[in-house]
């Protein structure tokens, strides 16, 4: 689905729902603003993680 993985940050995210089931999501950083919408993908923001990873 993605044209390139060069320079992108990838994430695996899990959290429980209201019934206690674990929901898993795979996420990747957009390479340009609006990329997810163009590809028909769900979007959400992961605050502060990108900055922390880039400081390592």
pLDDT tens readout for residues 10-54? 888 899 999 999 999 888 888 889 999 998 998 988 776 666 667
Is residue 3 one of the residues assigned to a domain?
no
Burial class of 28 by CB neighbour count within 10 A (0 to 12, 13 to 18, 19+): middle
Domain count across the chain: 1
The pair of three-digit structure tokens given for residue 18, joined into one six-digit string: 């209201």
Is residue 1 one of the residues assigned to a domain?
no
Q: Which domain holds residue 19?
A: 10-49
The pair of three-digit structure tokens given for residue 22, joined into one six-digit string: 């674990």
pLDDT at 4: 60
Identify the DSSP state of 10. E
* Residue 9 pLDDT class (50, 70, 90 cuts): confident
Is residue 34 one of the residues assigned to a domain?
yes
pLDDT at 19: 96
């Amino acid at each position: 689905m993605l044209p390139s993985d060069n320079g992108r940050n990838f994430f695996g995210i899990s959290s429980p729902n209201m019934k206690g089931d674990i929901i898993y999501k795979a996420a990747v950083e957009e390479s340009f603003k609006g990329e997810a919408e163009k590809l028909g993908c769900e979007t959400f923001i992961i605050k502060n993680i990108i900055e922390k990873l880039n400081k390592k």
